[in-house]
Structure 1
Amino acid sequence: MRFTIRHDDDTPPFEQVRRQVVDAVASRTLAPGTRMPTVRALAAELDLAVNTVAKAYRALEADHVIETRGRAGTFVAATGDPTTQEAQLAALAYADRVHHLGLDRATALALVESALDAPR
């Protein structure tokens, strides 16, 4: 996901960053569990002050859009009710494992469909 800043816009840069992240999460362009760029990296990419991006990240964290996991970094937070959040985290863990194993998307999805269709 590429973020952009319109310097001719009356909206402050931190709010432009915040709004773009919120919109990307809402449209599922940024999925739960997606690692966000570091504050310094995003500031350099957008040619903004580090404090500007940090302000946007603090606002996003206060709104539970992103979460910081210490040294592991900042990630898009799971959203929705607790059941949906747990399912999103399980899906992320599955996707990480599938990538690690080198499985292609079609195989991974077929395995999920088979598991969901199995009698319980």
Structure 2
Amino acid sequence: MSGRADSGTGRVIRPGAAVPGDDLQVFLKALTSGTRQKLFAHFADGEELTVGEVAERAGLGPSTTSEHLAVLRRGGLLQSTRSGKLVRYRADREGIAELLGQLHTYLLAPSAPEPEDIPPAHG
């Protein structure tokens, strides 16, 4: 299969491949960090945790932890609830399932033919 460079980035993409939607891109970006993957693991059992609790368990500073948790929340992996000054995070299982469905559809979508591959209509 021949590929084409993507907008000068040098990356080769499938011919005719659709670009993932913004939500899916943010989801995937949230997962690219090993630190965020380790932080997310603290929520695997369904537990709700504060920034301080996650920071203590992970051995990170509260500010760094808060930044990473915000990226995970924007990426659809975590939900947060505020009670006064306290923010509790938990895994967003429904959001994750939706985004994984989008990823599945994207990865298995058939490639559309490139415009130059379509023969011109004769008429």
- TM class by smaller structure: 0.3 to 0.5
Structure with the larger strand share = 2
Higher helix share: 1
State TM-score, norm by structure 1: 0.41
Bigger relative CO (Cα 8 Å, ≥ 6 apart): 2
Larger radius of gyration: 2
